[in-house]
Structure 1
Amino acid sequence: MGHDVDAALLATLVVGALRRARRAGEDLAEQARQADQANRSAVWSQPPGLPRQHLPGAVAGPAAR
């Protein structure tokens, strides 16, 4: 688990996605899907040449797929 600015930004994005889905009345599986999507978009949108510090799917885990 990271303890830097990137980790804080990723956590903020994922929690925001969870809250948005919950407030929209989505079920738990859809909430997890949206959190995973936020995680993946944040990870893979990093500029080329930077190390990939986060693993896709690490937030929602394999059960959400």
Structure 2
Amino acid sequence: MTLSDLKPGQKVTINGMLAEYKGIQKVKIPNFGKIEKRVFQGEGINIYKYYSIADGTKTLESEIIKLI
């Protein structure tokens, strides 16, 4: 399974951290502007993990992501 196979709202663990996939969203990068990224939000905490659109071909195993 690849990152692009995930659906918004799916729960996963990233390196042991519980997170929810939020889909592709525009993210503001300081001193750069807004770009689209694949967004994961930590469950119950205000931590976000971003992957580029091109990372959609990477497998979940290679990124240490597990579906719950």
Please report the TM-score for the alignment, with normalisation by the length of structure 2. Answer: 0.24
Specify which structure has the higher proportion of strand: 2
Please report the TM-score for the alignment, with normalisation by the length of structure 1. Answer: 0.24
